[in-house]
């Protein structure tokens, strides 16, 4: 019974249309940021290297290379601050966490593309 109540409570914080993407996808994450009191959209694009949690706590990590330096950002999937997530490219991956990409640089970072 309690489980049902928790689902009910969490439902209000979940997005109706959960963005669909997978590990290894190259995505554009459109986030709303507040500048002064003007809101604008910032795009963070990179590879989804990890997902964790479930329900309102579901998170994903996006990694990209900025000026030769690896940058990772962790986003809550259901955050109202995330406007949309666009999948740019899908790739062939064989594990759930792509932490091995952290050790790689240059051309070795590339993942093999998965054609639909």
Partner 1 sequence: MTKGILGRKVGLTQIFQEDGTVVPVTVLEVGPCHVLQVKTVERDGYEAVQLGYLDKPRRLASRAQRGQVATISSKRSKVRAASGVEAVSKPNCEPKRFVREFRGSTDAEVGSQVTAAVLEGVTAVDVIGTSKGRGFAGVMKRHNFSGQRATHGVKKCHRHAGGTSMGTYPGRTLKGKKMAGHYGNARKTVRNLKVAKVDVENNLLLVKGAVPGPRGSFVIVRETNKVGPS
Q: How far is the CB of 16 from partner 1 (least distance, A)?
A: 14
Q: What's the CA angle centered on 110, arms 68 and 64, to 5 degrees?
A: 40
Number of residues that bind partner 1 (CB under 8 A): 17
C-alpha distances in Å from residue 15, one per residue of 21, 80, 109, 113: 14, 8, 32, 29
Stretch in the footprint of partner 1 (CB under 8 A) among 3-11, 41-49, 64-72, 104-112? 3-11
Binder among 78, 83, 109, 111 for partner 1 (CB under 8 A): 78
Each residue 82-111 as x (binds partner 1 by CB under 8 A) or -, in order, gives ------------------------------
Which residues are 43's β-sheet partners? 30
Interface with partner 1 (CB under 8 A): 2, 5-6, 8-10, 12-13, 32, 55-57, 76, 78-81
């Amino acid at each position: 019974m309690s489980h049902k109540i928790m689902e009910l409570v969490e439902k209000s914080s979940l997005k109706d249309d959960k963005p669909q993407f997978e590990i290894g996808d190259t995505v554009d994450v459109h986030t709303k940021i507040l500048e002064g009191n003007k809101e604008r959209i910032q795009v963070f694009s990179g590879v989804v290297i990890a997902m964790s949690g479930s329900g309102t706590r579901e998170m994903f990590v996006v990694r990209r290379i900025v000026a030769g330096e690896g940058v990772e950002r962790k986003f809550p999937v259901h955050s109202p601050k995330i406007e949309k997530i666009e999948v740019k490219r899908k790739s062939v991956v064989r594990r759930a966490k792509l932490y091995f990409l952290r050790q790689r640089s240059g051309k070795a970072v590339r993942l093999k593309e998965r054609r639909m």
